[in-house]
Structure 1
Amino acid sequence: MCTPKFRVAICGGGIGGLCLAVALSRHAHVQVDVYEGAGRFKEIGAGVMIWARTWRILELLGLASHFAKVTDTPPDPAVAPGFDYRRSDRPDGFEWNFIAMPCKLVDGCIRFHRAHFLDVFVDQLPAGIAQFGKRLVSYEKREGGEIGLAFADGTSAVCDLLVGCDGIKSVVRAQMLRTKAAEDVQPSLLELIEPRWTGTIAYRGLIPSTDLPSVDGVTHRTLGSPMMYCGEDKHIVAYSISQGHVVNFVAFASEPEKEDTEYGAEWVTDCTKDEVLECFANWEPEAKQLLERVDNPTKWGIHHLQPLPFFVAGRVVLMGDAAHGMSPHLGAGAGQAIEDAYVLASVLAAATPSSLDAALEAYQQTRLPVANHVLRASYESGKMYEFNSPFAEEYSTLGPAIKRQWAFLTESTPEGEAEKAVGILRSQQGQ
C-alpha cells in the first residue's frame, strides 16, 4: 500500500513547473495539480540551451529520448562544441577565446526551440492535472495545515503544499516575503520582492538559416558553432535551433550607470531593425550579417532578482525564476529550474504528510546556495563579455575567468544533489 496522499499545487506551467509535475505524477502518494494563468501552456522567447548536467536529469526522468527528437544538437560524446568568442565592435574583428564545455557525459550545449522544449513536458503530463485560466491572487494558511488558494477568476482550491513556479514576477514570492517581513520584523525583505533591471536590454529575433549567405563557399559561423560576439558594453549571442533551420539571435546592449533604475512597465516591446543596426554600428561584417537579417525583432529589459535568504516559508516553496530569476548570460535559467524540480521531486517522493516540513528544508539546504551562486555568476558573466569586469580587456586572464563561471556544471552531479537532499530528510527523521 502507498503512503497517504498529500496534495501539491504547482502555480505556473513553465519549464520548471511542468518538469516538477511530470516527475511527481509518477508517485501514487502525491496528488498533483498545475494551475496556469494563461489559456494554454506557452513559452515566450525562441531559443533555450541546456548543458550536460541538465541532460543527465532528463535521462534520469526517462525523457531524454523525447528531447533528442526536438534538438538539432543531440548529445554526442565525440564532439565538444562550446562558445567561440570574437572581438567584434570594430570592422576588423578577431577571435580571442574558445570555451569547450567541460562535461563528463554530454559535451557542449544542447539547443532547442523553447516552445518545442516545453511541448515535451506537456506531452508527458497525465490528463486531468492541468487547469488553465487560474492566475493566483493570494494564498492563506488554514487550520489543520491546509493552504487555501484564491484565483483571479473567483475560484479557489486547497493543497497541503504550494509550489510557486510563477516566474520572476512571482505572486507567491511577493506574499511570502511580505508575510515574513511582518512576522519577523525584517523590513529589508521587502526590498527583495521586485526584480531589478540590470541596465541591459536585449534585441531578440530568429533568422532562417537560408537567409545567411555563404562567403567563398563557407557557411556563416553560427550554423556550425554557438557564437559570442563581444564589444564594449555590448555583445551578441547566436546559435542554431530547430534542426539547424533557424538561428536564434540575441544582441545585448548595456548602460551600466542605469543598473537598478526603473525600466518601465513593459519589459518586452517590438522595435525596428533600424534601431538594432544603429545600436551596433561599426561592428564587424560577420556580426552585421546577423543584424541585417533579423526581421521583426523584439526588445527586452533584462531583469534579475537579488539572492533570496530562503526559498521556503511554512509549506510554501519557491523554485525556478520565482526563486532565483537570473540574467541569461550562462544559459542556465532553464537548467536551474529543472534541477530545482528534480531535487524537490526526489525529496517529496521520499516524504509523507508528516515529514513535508523536513522535505522542504532538505530541498532548501540543497538548492538555495547553488542557485544563488549561479544567479550571481550569470550577472558577472554578462559584465565579462562586455569588458566591464575587473579583468577588463586582459584576454589572457579574462578567458580563463569566463570558463571558471561554468564550474558549477561539474562540481557535483544531479544524482549526488538529490541523494544529498534525501539524506538530509532522512537524518531529520532519525533514519
Structure 2
Amino acid sequence: MGLGEAYLQVADRTSEPWEDVWFEWRRGSDASYLGATNAPGVGQSSVHRADFIDALVTHLPEGIAQFGKRATQVKQQGDEVQVLFADGTECRCDLLIGADGIKSALRSHVLEGQGLAPQVPRFSGTCAYRGMVDSLHLREAYRAHGIDEHLVDVPQMYLGLDGHILTFPVRNGGIINVVAFISDRSEPKPTWPADAPWVREASQREMLDAFAGWGGAARALLECIPAPTVWALHDLAELPGYVHGRVVLIGDAAHAMLPHQGTGAAQGLEDAYFLA
C-alpha cells in the first residue's frame, strides 16, 4: 500500500531489549509470569488512531479527504450513486465504497437491495474500561507499591476469570494505553438496552469494583485512571452479501468484530487493498 514508511514514523514499538515482545502474559491475581508472545522484527507495534489517519491523508491528493461527514441515505439511479449526509450536503459518484463503521447507514441499502433483512450489531456481553496513563505517574505508583517497573516498559496482559487487562505504550512511551475487559456470562444471548449509549463515562469506583479481588499490580494500574470510559463491545454477524449495484461495503460496515489484536482495523485495510 506504500504506507510502511509513513506508519513507522508515527508508530510506537516496545523499547530495547524487549523489541520483539508482543505481550507478556501474567496472572491478574498476583502478576506472576506465565509466558510471552514474541513477534521477531515487529514486537508490539501500535499507533494512535489520529496519528495514523493523518499519515493516510498525506498520501491523498489535496482536498480529497473531508472529515465531519456522516452518511444518512444512499440512492442509485442508472450509473450514478447519490449519497446524502447529516449536514444536508450530498455527493454523487459512479461507485460508492461504504466504510461507515459498525453503525453503518449504508448496510441496510445493500441488504435490502439483495432482498435481505437488515442486520444490526449484537452485544457481546463484554464491556471494556479504557484510560490513558502518564508513564511517569505509573512508575511512581508502582514504586510506591513495590511493583517492578518492568511492567511499564513491556506490553502486559493480565488474565483473570471472565476478564483481562492489557497495557501497551503509545506516543513514544510517554503514555500507557490501558484497556480492562470484563464479561458477564449470566445470559447465553446478552442484550444491550436500545436507548443506552455504547460509550459512557464511568467512575473509578465502578471500574475498581468490577475488578475486585485482582492483585496489587492490576489494582495499582487501575487506580491511576481517575475518569475511565466504559465501552459496550458489539460485533456483527456474517453478512450474506456485501455488494448491491454500485455500492460495496468494507471494514466494520461489512464485518465488525471485537477489538482484540487490532483485527478490525487490519481487516479494513486488507479490504481496501484487495478491492483496489
TM-score over 0.5 for the alignment? yes
Q: Which runs of 5+ in 2 are unaligned?
A: none
Q: Residues 74 and 311 (structure 1 numbering): CA distance in 2 closer, same or farther, change over 3 Å? A: farther
1:256 is matched with which residue? 185
Post-superposition offset of 1:271 = 0.7
Post-superposition offset of 1:93 = 4.0
For residues 366-401 of structure 1, the C-alpha deviation after alignment (integer angstroms, 9 at most, x for no partner) is xxxxxxxxxxxxxxxxxxxxxxxxxxxxxxxxxxxx
**After superposition, where does 1:221-232 map in structure 2 within 5 Å?**
221=151, 223-232=152-161
1:207 is matched with which residue? 133
Letter aligned with residue 259 of structure 2? P
Q: Residues 263 and 254 (structure 1 numbering): CA distance in 2 closer, same or farther, change over 3 Å? A: farther
Preserved CA contact (<8 Å) 1:138 1:172: yes
**C-alpha distance in structure 2 between counterparts of 1:230 and 1:132, whole Å:** 38
1:355 is matched with which residue? none
**After superposition, where does 1:136-155 map in structure 2 within 5 Å?**
136-143=71-78, 145-155=79-89
For residues 24-80 of structure 1, the C-alpha deviation after alignment (integer angstroms, 9 at most, x for no partner) is xxxxxxxxxxxxxxxxxxxxxxxxxxxxxxxxxxxxx3322222222231899x942
**C-alpha distance in structure 2 between counterparts of 1:256 and 1:97, whole Å:** 27
* Matched position secondary structure for 1:295: coil
Post-superposition offset of 1:179 = 2.7
Post-superposition offset of 1:336 = 1.0
Residue in structure 2 matching 1:287, options 210, 218, 224: 218
1:70 is matched with which residue? 10
Letter aligned with residue 86 of structure 1? R
* Matched position secondary structure for 2:13: coil
* Matched position secondary structure for 1:256: coil
1:233 is matched with which residue? 162
Residue in structure 2 matching 1:309, options 224, 234, 240: 240
Answer yes or no: is 1:84 the counterpart of 2:24.
yes
**C-alpha distance in structure 2 between counterparts of 1:224 and 1:327, whole Å:** 26
Answer yes or no: is 1:242 the counterpart of 2:180.
no
* Matched position secondary structure for 2:108: helix
**C-alpha distance in structure 1 between counterparts of 2:236 and 2:55, whole Å:** 28
**C-alpha distance in structure 2 between counterparts of 1:242 and 1:279, whole Å:** 28
Preserved CA contact (<8 Å) 1:263 1:301: no
* Matched position secondary structure for 1:111: coil
Post-superposition offset of 1:248 = 0.2
Answer yes or no: is 1:109 the counterpart of 2:44.
yes
Post-superposition offset of 1:256 = 2.1
**C-alpha distance in structure 1 between counterparts of 2:68 and 2:138, whole Å:** 41
Letter aligned with residue 122 of structure 1? V
Preserved CA contact (<8 Å) 2:200 2:229: yes
Preserved CA contact (<8 Å) 1:207 1:295: no
**C-alpha distance in structure 1 between counterparts of 2:31 and 2:25, whole Å:** 10
* Matched position secondary structure for 1:286: helix
Post-superposition offset of 1:311 = 1.9
Q: Which runs of 5+ in 1 are unaligned?
A: 1-60, 346-431
Residue in structure 1 matching 2:263, options 309, 318, 332: 332
Post-superposition offset of 1:251 = 0.5
Post-superposition offset of 1:82 = 1.7
Post-superposition offset of 1:202 = 0.5
Letter aligned with residue 171 of structure 1? A
Work out which structure has the larger RCO, using CA pairs closer than 8 Å and 6 or more positions apart in sequence.
2
1:423 is matched with which residue? none
Letter aligned with residue 26 of structure 2? R
* Matched position secondary structure for 1:141: strand
Preserved CA contact (<8 Å) 1:201 1:254: yes
* Matched position secondary structure for 1:235: strand
Q: Which has the higher strand share?
A: 2
Post-superposition offset of 1:297 = 0.6
* Matched position secondary structure for 1:269: strand
* Matched position secondary structure for 1:330: helix
Residue in structure 2 matching 1:196, options 122, 125, 146: 122
For residues 379-428 of structure 1, the C-alpha deviation after alignment (integer angstroms, 9 at most, x for no partner) is xxxxxxxxxxxxxxxxxxxxxxxxxxxxxxxxxxxxxxxxxxxxxxxxxx
Preserved CA contact (<8 Å) 1:75 1:110: no
Post-superposition offset of 1:203 = 0.3
Matched residues, number = 270
Preserved CA contact (<8 Å) 1:150 1:157: yes
TM-score (norm 2): 0.89
Percent of pairs with identical residues: 41
**C-alpha distance in structure 2 between counterparts of 1:100 and 1:86, whole Å:** 15
**C-alpha distance in structure 2 between counterparts of 1:112 and 1:135, whole Å:** 24
